[in-house]
Amino acid sequence: MTLDAQSSDRTSVDSLAWVGTMAGMEWISVTDRLPAEEQRVLVWSQSNGLHIAYLDLWRQWRDADDNPGKKISHWMPLPEPPTDRT
């Protein structure tokens, strides 16, 4: 599921809360704490919605395609990958 910033604010907020609940993790405000450099994390931004990004060596957000991240407000660690080998 991809969430984008074009959906209504209420839908975006509800979807953001749902993702956090389903992953069993809490969203962390960027004003409270930032992830380690180059650690890929799930982020929320008003301009791009929900996506994966990281902080580069200069502490600037970059998305998975190495483009600058914009207006990121919250992040959470990615879940561990599955362990079964089916």
pLDDT for the residue 63: 86
Q: What angle do CA 21, 81, 29 make, to 5 degrees?
A: 40
- Host domain of residue 73: 9-77
**Does a structural domain hold residue 2?**
no
pLDDT for the residue 18: 52
Q: What is the number of domains present in the chain?
A: 1
pLDDT for the residue 7: 45
pLDDT for the residue 74: 96
What does pTM read for this prediction?
Answer: 0.67
**What would the pLDDT profile of 56-82 be if each residue is shown by its tens digit?**
999 999 987 778 878 899 999 998 888
**What would the pLDDT profile of 8-29 be if each residue is shown by its tens digit?**
444 455 555 555 555 567 999 9
**Does a structural domain hold residue 72?**
yes
**Does a structural domain hold residue 54?**
yes
